[in-house]
């Protein structure tokens, strides 16, 4: 009798263990899907901004090309009468203007190529290899992409942006696409905070401030806003996976959690200072390691 009870109990334990194992596997699979969804959502937010960023220099390229074509036609006409009119001042002026135009075409064409390269670096999974990266340039690029992404969705919304980049910061060995995701996430959160405050505060100038600082053995990146701030109740939970202060559908609660993990993987840290109703500052700290180049 006792042996039968033991056998039955063992069978029940095994069944329960199998159920728990299946539940754990399902939870892990769901978590992986959510993390991937967060990455894709971040990439999706960039699409509009990248399109606008690319369109700006390409507009210059197209416009200057059209004008240059017209000038070439005028130049041909001017040169055709040079034999009659010895004064070729007009033709020379056209040549000078044409040269300036072509220089601008080259400049904006290269700028478009840089944006496409940045887009590809951000979207690819990457090898996870650290490489020498200009932190100031990366930070400024993220600000530009986030801003144009915001303007694509909120055309009437205006925000003041201030930047203070420490030029003494050299290149750091980082996984640029991962660090870019961190900075971009913080900037997007800052934009969201000031937009929410603007809805309820008429006399308010939404302001985002980005700065970098060289602190000897470390460098610091600060993303500051004068938005809604974070409540004391939420402050201790913001780095927890799946916790979000945004309404349903506006965030997955994985952005800051992933950002925190990325900073730790770089041997760095992420801290926050906030005052509800006044604003928030996120401080990213990275070790100052000179890359071997």
**Quick one: which H or E segment has residue 236?**
none
- Choose among 290, 279, 42, 242: nearest CA to 142: 42
Which range has the worst mean pLDDT, 131-145, 194-208, 228-242?
228-242
pLDDT interval class at 49 (50, 70, 90): low
Residue bearing the bigger pLDDT, 42 or 137: 137
Could you tell me the pTM of the whole model?
A: 0.59
Mean pLDDT of the chain: 76
Does the structure show a pLDDT above 70 at 50? no
The C-alpha angle 122, 237, 276, rounded to 5 degrees, equals: 95
| Count of Cβ atoms closer than 10 Å to residue 208 Cβ | 25
Query: Could you state, in order of their start, the residue ranges of all structural domains in the chain?
Result: 1-124, 131-287
Q: How do residues 61-117 score in pLDDT, each as one tens digit?
A: 777 777 887 777 777 777 666 555 555 677 777 777 887 888 888 777 777 766 666
**How far, in Å, CA of 210 to CA of 145, rounded?**
14
Kindly report the backbone phi and psi dihedral angles of residue 182, in degrees, each rounded to the nearest multiple of 5, phi listed first.
Answer: -60, -55
What's the rounded mean pLDDT across residues 31-54?
A: 61
Does the structure show a pLDDT above 60 at 2? no
**How far, in Å, CA of 209 to CA of 270, rounded?**
17
CATH number of the 131-287 domain: 3.30.565.10
Q: Which pLDDT score, from 0 to 100, does residue 225 have? A: 92
Q: How do residues 261-290 score in pLDDT, each as one tens digit?
A: 888 888 899 888 988 888 999 999 999 864
The C-alpha angle 275, 43, 112, rounded to 5 degrees, equals: 105
Contact 42, 184 (CB under 8 A): yes
Q: Which pLDDT score, from 0 to 100, does residue 15 have? A: 77
Contact 132, 171 (CB under 8 A): yes
Q: Which pLDDT score, from 0 to 100, does residue 219 have? A: 93
Q: Which pLDDT score, from 0 to 100, does residue 253 have? A: 45
Contact 193, 280 (CB under 8 A): yes
**How far, in Å, CA of 187 to CA of 225, rounded?**
9
Q: Which pLDDT score, from 0 to 100, does residue 222 have? A: 96
**Quick one: which H or E segment has residue 290?**
none
What's the rounded mean pLDDT across residues 206-219?
A: 92
Q: What is the largest CA-CA distance in the chain?
A: 124
Q: Which pLDDT score, from 0 to 100, does residue 245 have? A: 60
**How far, in Å, CA of 285 to CA of 269, rounded?**
5
CATH of 1-124, picked from 1.10.287, 1.10.3470, 2.40.10, 3.40.30, is 1.10.287
Does the structure show a pLDDT above 60 at 37? no
């Amino acid at each position: 009798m006792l042996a039968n009870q033991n056998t039955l109990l063992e069978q029940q334990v095994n069944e329960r263990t199998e159920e728990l194992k299946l539940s754990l596997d399902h939870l892990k699979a769901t978590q992986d899907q959510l993390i991937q969804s967060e990455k894709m959502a971040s990439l999706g937010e960039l699409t509009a901004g990248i399109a606008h960023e690319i369109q700006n220099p390409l507009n210059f390229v197209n416009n200057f090309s059209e004008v240059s074509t017209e000038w070439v036609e005028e130049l041909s006409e001017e040169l055709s009468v040079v034999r009659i009119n010895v004064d070729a001042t007009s033709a020379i002026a056209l040549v000078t203007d044409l040269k300036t135009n072509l220089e601008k075409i080259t400049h904006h064409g290269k700028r478009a190529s840089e944006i496409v390269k940045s887009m590809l670096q951000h979207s690819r999974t990457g090898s996870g290899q650290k490489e020498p990266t200009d932190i100031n340039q990366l930070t400024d690029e993220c600000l530009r992409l986030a801003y144009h992404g915001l303007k694509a969705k909120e055309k009437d919304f205006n925000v003041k942006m201030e930047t203070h980049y420490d030029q003494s910061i050299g290149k750091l060995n980082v996984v640029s696409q991962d660090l870019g995701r961190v900075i971009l996430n913080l900037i997007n959160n800052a934009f969201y905070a000031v937009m929410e405050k603007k809805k309820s505060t008429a006399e308010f100038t939404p302001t985002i401030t980005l700065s970098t600082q060289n602190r000897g053995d470390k460098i610091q990146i600060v993303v500051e806003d004068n938005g809604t701030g974070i409540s004391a109740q939420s402050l201790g939970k913001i780095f927890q996976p799946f916790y979000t202060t945004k309404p349903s559908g506006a965030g997955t609660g994985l952005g800051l959690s992933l950002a925190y993990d990325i900073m730790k993987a770089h041997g760095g840290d992420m801290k926050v200072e906030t005052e509800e109703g006044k604003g928030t500052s996120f401080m990213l700290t990275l070790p100052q390691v000179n890359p071997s180049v």
